[in-house]
Amino acid sequence: MGSRASRKQRWCTQTLTPLMEGPDPEMQEEGTKKESSWEVIREWFRTQKGLSATNFSLSLYGNIPAKRQDLRLLLAVLGCPLAPIPLVNHPIHHIRVKDIPIETSTAHYIIQQYLAASGCLKQQKCAKNMYATGSVKMICCETEISTGKNVKSLGTRSGESGCFVVWQMLPGMWSLELVVGGNKVIAGSDGKTIWRHKSWLGTHAAKGPQRPLRRIIQGLDPKTTARLFAKAQCLGEKRIGDDECFVLKVCADRVAGMERNEGTEEVIRNVLYGYFCQKSGLLIYLEDSHLTRVQTQENESVEWETTIGGSIGGYRDVDGMLIAHQGRSIATIFRFG
């Protein structure tokens, strides 16, 4: 399954409606269900396997039209994803490069170049608060489902537009509100607990160590992005579009993965890749992949691999720092078993 989201954001002075610190009471008409996002994904695949291409557009998920069902699947994956790697506590510039592998020291040097290119090293004071608003468009692409012998394509490219606003207050506190196609997703963190609310799923807290919002590390907060890659390794070089890039890789440790396990869901692998332009030193592409094993009610083991790749661009100067103002993310879900 492929899905795509593109965004453009602007920084300006305007009157904003304050975000609530908890779920919106007006969203509770459908919010009595406490299912996880995996329930939505599993049910979506289960529904599509029994449909032909001719009646796909008329399919229903309960009493929900197929187009709205597809949008909710997109929001479950791309609405408010978190970075797969928890932040390190020590500052990136205090890391000792002596007696460490060349791949690690090279990655440290690339991150220092990124901080310099984005303007962070020239900042005399650390910004305590920030916000960004923007527009977003989500598109559900054709879905390919394999039955073992053949592959059938279902659905058409249908898109919905919306908007978002995100706040961040250091250390580790943030809020996000996203509205697309009449569906609202709100999420937040007080520095200790991350919670998310979707009207069709209810409210739940994210398990495991504190992780930043993925939308923030996609060019909005270079210092947080640098901290994510504090323990990265340099894999070499790769061309992204017209740019030659250094590729950095960082993996979540086993303990962090185990802390995210919940019920029948087991996190097997979490990997984050950053592509830093050799010419500008800026981050222009970010990709993360996580593999999860889910035990079904039929006592069968099913593995899901979710990959989100996002291009980052439109860098502009904001108070002495280069901040990305546009990008595009593509999410792909593979089901094994």
Dihedral (CA of 36, 38, 44, 47) sign: negative
Structure tokens at 273: 């890749």
| Residue 139 β-bridge partners | 4, 159
DSSP 181-213: TTEEEEEEEESS-EEEEETTTEEEEPPSS---B
Q: Please give the share of the chain, as a percent, with pLDDT higher than 70.
A: 70
Judge residue 264's burial from the number of C-beta atoms within 10 Å of its C-beta, 0-12 exposed, 13-18 middle, 19 or more buried.
middle
Residue (of 144, 160, 165) closest to 53 by Cα position: 144
Neighbours of 175 (CB within 10 A): 20
Q: Is residue 199 within 8 Å of 186, Cβ to Cβ?
A: no
How far is the C-alpha of 75 from the C-alpha of 65, rounded, in Å?
A: 16
Q: Tell me: the pLDDT tens digits for 258-306? A: 777 777 788 888 899 999 999 999 999 999 998 888 887 777 888 888 8
pTM here?
0.78
| Residue 277 β-bridge partners | 245
For 318, the 3-state DSSP assignment is strand
How wide is the angle at C-alpha 334 spanned by C-alphas 276 and 151, nearest 5°?
Answer: 125
Q: Tell me: the pLDDT tens digits for 99-158? A: 788 899 899 999 999 999 999 888 766 667 888 999 999 887 766 555 555 555 555 566
DSSP 113-135: HHHHHHTGGG-SS---EEEEEEE
The long-range contacts involving 39-48, CB below 8 angstroms and separated by at least 24 positions, are 39/201, 40/72, 40/73, 40/76, 40/200, 40/201, 41/73, 41/76, 41/77, 41/304, 41/333, 42/294, 42/296, 42/302, 44/69, 44/70, 44/73, 45/1, 45/145, 45/335, 48/143, 48/145, 48/154
Among 24-33, 117-126, 317-326, top mean pLDDT goes to: 317-326
Q: pLDDT value at position 22?
A: 37
Whether residue 35 has pLDDT greater than 70: no
For 91, the 3-state DSSP assignment is coil
Q: Hey, what's the torsion of the CAs at 23, 27, 31, 35, to 10 degrees?
A: -70
DSSP 8-state secondary structure symbol assigned to residue 87: P
* Range in 12-26, 78-92, 169-183, 309-323 the model is least confident about: 12-26
